[in-house]
Amino acid sequence: MDALKSAGRAIIKSPGVPRHTWGTSKHEKLPENWTDTKETLLEGMVFNVKYLGMTLVGQPKGEDMASAAIRRIVATARAGAKKFRKVTLTVSPKGIVITDTETTDLIENVSIYRISYCTADKTQDKVFAYVSQSQFNETLECHAFLCQKKKIAQAVTLTVAQAFKVALDLWEIAQEDKSKKARTCCTCAASNGQTEAADAQCVPADPETHKPSGMEEKLRRPLFSASLSSPSPRSNPTRRRPIKHDSWDVEDGLEDAFSSNMETEETDTGPRNC
């Protein structure tokens, strides 16, 4: 816990920059301990995927809700004639930054506090999706992304879950620091004979109604849940074949594989890419 809190304080002091991008080299594998590498997560884990689309949902979380939303997004994506947009997801305890892979233009910066659910879908196992509240109103949106392999979809989901854990720890750190400052203030006031002032300052403030300016999201407790299609969320995907990205830049290869996956619904007769 101490190590995790130290990592949490580190991100407050320095946001850092992404150190590695998953999905760019031809022969690479996720490190064996990637889910426990807090330093890497704080700097930002980067994934290259393709954006499928978005649909509105009626609840913040739930496996059935997410599956239905993904089916709608996939159906719309298949009906469209446009190629899927290549995007880069940078995941950190601050949230998910979505940029255009080719132009590097910022598409959206999704705060971790807006994300309520993420999943690697069971049926479309190469699809990663998350549910978040719109930055403009209170509507809930489900965004879906096509990953090259099942293990990448799982990796993104686990990374977002880890990012939430660190964000939650940041919130706990803020509460601890706030309590320490309040106790110190009370002690100093009492020693100076300012009993009445000390009593007033020792009343615990509601963190939702007494937030310092600019600290709204840092002091708010994030609410989040994740779902994985694998039997064990802690299973390590790196014990299988290295990820080969030769077909990532071949437009027809990935689109055909994706369409085939939609039609056969997990009844592939060839070897699975996972």
Q: Is there a domain that residue 154 lies in?
A: yes
Residues 84, 255: Cα–Cα separation, whole Å: 8
126-149 residue pLDDT tens = 999 999 999 899 899 999 999 999
Q: Residue 48: name the closest of 20, 5, 89 by CA.
A: 89
> Mean pLDDT across the stretch 219-230?
55
Rounded to the nearest 10°, the torsion over CA 28, 48, 145, 232 is 30
Look at residue 199 and tell me if it is in a domain.
Answer: no
Is 181 within a domain? Answer: no
From residue 70, alpha-carbon distances to 53, 122, 215 in Å are: 9, 10, 34
- Which percentage of the chain shows pLDDT scores above 90? 39
For residue 224, pLDDT over 80 is answered with no
User: Is residue 22 a part of any domain in this protein?
Assistant: yes
- Classify residue 129: in a domain, yes or no: yes
Residue at 18 is within a domain = yes
Contact 148, 243 (CB under 8 A): yes
pLDDT reported for residue 251? 39
The verdict on residue 179 lying in a domain is no
Q: What is the CATH number of the domain that holds 98?
A: 2.30.29.30
How confident is the model over 53-75, as pLDDT tens digits?
A: 999 999 999 999 999 999 999 99
Give the DSSP H or E segment for 76: helix 63-79
> What is the average pLDDT across 164-179?
83
Residue 8: inside a domain, yes or no? yes
Neighbours of 12 (CB within 10 A): 12
Who contacts 11 (Cβ-Cβ below 8 Å, separation ≥6)? Answer: 42, 92, 93, 94, 166, 170
Residues 31, 62 contacting (CB under 8 angstroms) = no
Q: Tell me the pLDDT tens digit for each residue of 179-212.
A: 777 777 666 666 666 555 444 444 444 444 444 3
**pTM, entire model:** 0.60
The pair of three-digit structure tokens given for residue 7, joined into one six-digit string: 């990592």
Using the structure block, give the residue that is written with the tokens 């977002």.
160
Give the integer Cα–Cα distance in Å for 274 and 257: 13
Tokens of 259: 């369409």
The answer to whether 222 and 113 are in contact (CB under 8 A) is yes
Q: What is the pLDDT of residue 236?
A: 37
Domain tally, the chain: 1
* Helix (H/G/I), strand (E/B), else coil: 38: helix
Q: What is the C-alpha to C-alpha distance for residues 168 and 18, in angstroms, rounded to an integer?
A: 21
Domain span at residue 14?
Answer: 2-167+222-264
